[in-house]
Structure 1
Amino acid sequence: MLLTRASEYALLSLDAIRKSDSPIGAEQLANELCIPKSFLAKILQSLAKQGILESRKGAHGGFILAKEVNEISVKDIIIAAEGKAPAVFDCTSYMSTCPNGTIGSCAISPFLINFQTKIDDFLNGLTLGDIL
């Protein structure tokens, strides 16, 4: 499973936003978390686009959680941060175009599909509230 710093930064940012009494801007978050501002801003925009964060404009603007922490799945956070669903192995994300043939023709594909399903179910059931 390839999770990059984007997922890590998303989780750290969501924790900081959760603790803030008022909307918090990307620059302030970047400074607090020692994260490059431009990279963090893209992550925050993706989280907002997916309905995890709400972006408020103006002098006292910034980001706030759009949902309660127990309503935000870790899988949704990863998808927003990474731009794709987490895949245990590369081939689970391109099964339909597998160079070894059709889905299920590989000897280990049943294992991979089962493993991916278990990971997806786990990440769907795990919320931001569970890990903070």
Structure 2
Amino acid sequence: MLLTRASEYALLSLALIGESGEPKDVDTLSKQLDISKSFLAKILQNLAKRGILISYKGAKGGFALNKRFDEISIMEVIEAAEGKSPSVFECSPARECCPSDRAGSCIIWPFLNRLQNKIDGFLENLTLKDILDT
């Protein structure tokens, strides 16, 4: 599992919020993206908890970017949306994730771990600006 709908919706929401230049409310965003309001609200709250968005309450409330596009890494968006770091395979981050009978003898774990590290580095260096400028 690398990316789920939560990550996709987080990225799309951030793009719309950033383009507007002013706070956007969950109702408006959910209609624009044609997705569940409650699911989107949870995602946006997680982005706010991580400092990617600022939440404003009240009639003119909503969510606004707390950082510029070039300061928001795709890794931090995924981690906020998913609630965990992305993993190519369950065992790629650490051998302890392997079943106990194979943890010490898995011959492909070093490869999986190197692959995971390369993907992590790529996502940490890729910014929202990078994907929106393409």
TM-score, normalised via structure 2 length: 0.92
How many percent of aligned residue pairs carry the same amino acid? 59
1:24-103 correspondence runs (5 A)? 24-93=24-93, 95-99=95-99, 100-102=102-104
Which residue identity lines up with residue 78 of structure 2 in the other structure? I
User: What is the alpha-carbon distance in structure 1 between the residues aligned to residue 125 and residue 2 of structure 2?
Assistant: 19
User: What is the alpha-carbon distance in structure 1 between the residues aligned to residue 5 and residue 97 of structure 2?
Assistant: 28
Which residue identity lines up with residue 69 of structure 1 in the other structure? F
- CA drift of 1:21 comes to 3.0
User: What is the alpha-carbon distance in structure 2 between the residues aligned to residue 91 and residue 128 of structure 1?
Assistant: 28
User: What is the alpha-carbon distance in structure 2 between the residues aligned to residue 128 and residue 97 of structure 1?
Assistant: 31
SS in structure 1 at match of 2:14: helix
54-63 or 86-95: bigger deviation: 86-95
Q: 2:55 touches 2:64 (CA, 8 Å); kept in 1?
A: yes
- CA drift of 1:94 comes to 5.2
RMSD across aligned C-alpha pairs, in angstroms? 1.2
User: What is the alpha-carbon distance in structure 1 between the residues aligned to residue 103 and residue 124 of structure 2?
Assistant: 30
TM-score, normalised via structure 1 length: 0.93
After the TM superposition, list the runs of 4 or more consecutive aligned residues in structure 1 that deviate by more than 2 angstroms.
none
Aligned length: 130
SS in structure 2 at match of 1:63: strand
Which residue identity lines up with residue 128 of structure 2 in the other structure? L
Show CA shifts across 1:18-73 (max 9, x none): 01132110011001110100000000000000110000111111000000111110
User: What is the alpha-carbon distance in structure 1 between the residues aligned to residue 15 and residue 120 of structure 2?
Assistant: 22
Instruction: Report the equivalent of 1:119.
Output: 119
In structure 1, runs of 5+ residues without a counterpart are: none
User: What is the alpha-carbon distance in structure 2 between the residues aligned to residue 97 and residue 10 of structure 1?
Assistant: 27
User: What is the alpha-carbon distance in structure 2 between the residues aligned to residue 97 and residue 76 of structure 1?
Assistant: 22
